Copies of this chain bind each other. A is one copy, B any other.
Amino acid sequence: MRPNGILETILYTNELDQAVWFYHEFLGLKLIREPSELAASFRVDQDHVLLIFDPTVSDKPGRPVPSHGARGPGHIAFRIDPEHYDAWIRRMGEFGIAAEQEIEWSTHTDPGRSIYMRDPTGNSVELITADIWRG
């Protein structure tokens, strides 16, 4: 017995408007509902959502669900099509988003490339063309 998958992946930011700009406008994730002062919710694929919380709101006790709220730069890696890699680089330029680092994972079973950037809050966001954990 084990979980079937992850339904909700979470990041934190104190600037939800800027998170919407980055994850919706730039990355193209669909907004599930209008953002609140608590969170912005995005559909990533059929089975997964990305929730971005303001930790100063989500960590308050007495919410209808258990409280949580981390501070400091988190990390997430999104899978992208290898043939879209260069288009993502161009899109970053159009949005004024700097590449922090690029890596070629050529030593892995499933070779691929990653490009790293920061969302407006400083979370480390990676776009990767392969599942480098397989093998």
Please give the residue numbers on chain A whose beta carbons come within 8 Å of chain B beta carbons, in ascending order: 1-10, 12, 27-29, 32, 41, 43-45, 47-51, 53, 55, 58-59, 64-81, 84, 87-88, 91, 100-101, 103, 116, 118, 123-124, 126-128, 131, 133
Given contacts A2-B28, A8-B126, A71-B72, 16 further A-B contacts (CB under 8 A): A1-B87, A3-B28, A3-B29, A3-B127, A5-B44, A5-B78, A6-B44, A6-B77, A7-B133, A8-B76, A8-B128, A32-B133, A43-B133, A67-B73, A68-B73, A71-B71
What are the residues of chain B within 8 A of A8 when measuring CB–CB? 75-77, 126, 128, 133
Q: Is the CB of A101 within 8 A of B3?
A: no
What are the residues of chain B within 8 A of A59 when measuring CB–CB? 72-73
Measured CA separation A41–B47 after assembly (Å): 21
What are the residues of chain B within 8 A of A131 when measuring CB–CB? 7, 47
Q: Which 5 A-B pairs have the closest CB atoms?
A: A2-B28, A3-B78, A8-B77, A70-B70, A68-B124
